[in-house]
Amino acid sequence: MQENNTKCLIIGSGPAGYTAAIYASRANLSPILFEGHTPGGQLTTTSEVENFPGYPNGVTGPELMADLRKQAERFGADIRPGNIVEVDFSGKPLKVRTESGETLTAQTVIIATGATALYLGLPDEEKYKGLGVSACATCDGFFYRKRTVAVVGGGDTACEEAMYLSNLASKVYMIVRKPYLRASKVMQQRVAEKENIEILFNTNTVGLFGEEYLEGAHLVEHVGTADERRFDIAIDGFFLGIGHKPETDVFPGIERDEHGYVKTFGGTTATSVPGVFAAGDVADPRYRQAISAAGMGCRAALDAEAYILENS
């Protein structure tokens, strides 16, 4: 029979969750980890990862996550499939309910549910995901050196992605549905001054094309007006820069910022609820990298261990 109470419950997998499980296991916290809808997190949809330390020749996203999972299991982490659908952090012990109806209790909880990149909703995005479509320029921009790419969006995120890519790619299109950029004035100026960035205002993406890999995008300018014009651009990479949605809906009592990211306090991973910690993209709107998520997972496990010692 599975144990349903633990010193440390980890919600979510990916680099943050699995690393937290490694450290919590080694601290004899007997962690239980629920993997969520996507075991391994966003990296399982990434073909090549070349910037995670320890893999000099690169590694696929699924392989990296499988390695982290095995390492957590090696030290005794109880890794379970499924989701947490309800929490009660109003008292001690902390309580959660799974989608199968089970109730678990824990002295500490680590939230590592991640953040999901926002997509346009085009069927072609799924078709070419990992084959030219990406939601992370820092992760995948290296593969597009001296090639032509496009970034969708007109806010700070899109401008930052475009600026990063402009130092790698030969040409960067920015596809902006409005007649202006929503980014800060500083970011607007930087983009405008970059010679290899071309902004396509009043433009929507309606499709992508290519035989095996992405080869271009179908665009429409001034959609729904007398000036409507449809045209194609040839691109090798299509980057989404329209933001991320942190997976926090199941945690209504946790303090979050204006964009929904879990707030942490005092330079630690501690949240607004004692005994509850957050790690990875769910609490990181800035970096969103596998290595920084793993580091936060380590910190969260250490913070959970310290909390248990202080309150035992």
As annotated, the active-site residues are 136, 139-140
CA 259-84-93 angle, 5° bins: 100
What are the DSSP E strand ranges found in the chain? 5-11, 32-34, 78-80, 84-88, 94-98, 103-111, 115-117, 133-134, 148-152, 171-175, 197-200, 203-209, 216-221, 229-234, 237-240, 244-246, 276-278
The residue whose two tokens read 């824990």 is 106
Q: Which residues lie closer than 8 Å to 18 by C-beta, 6 or more apart?
A: 33, 65, 68, 69, 71, 72, 294, 297
- 180 CB contacts (<8 Å, ≥6 apart)? 154, 201
Q: Answer for the pair 97, 103: CB distance below 8 angstroms, yes or no.
A: yes
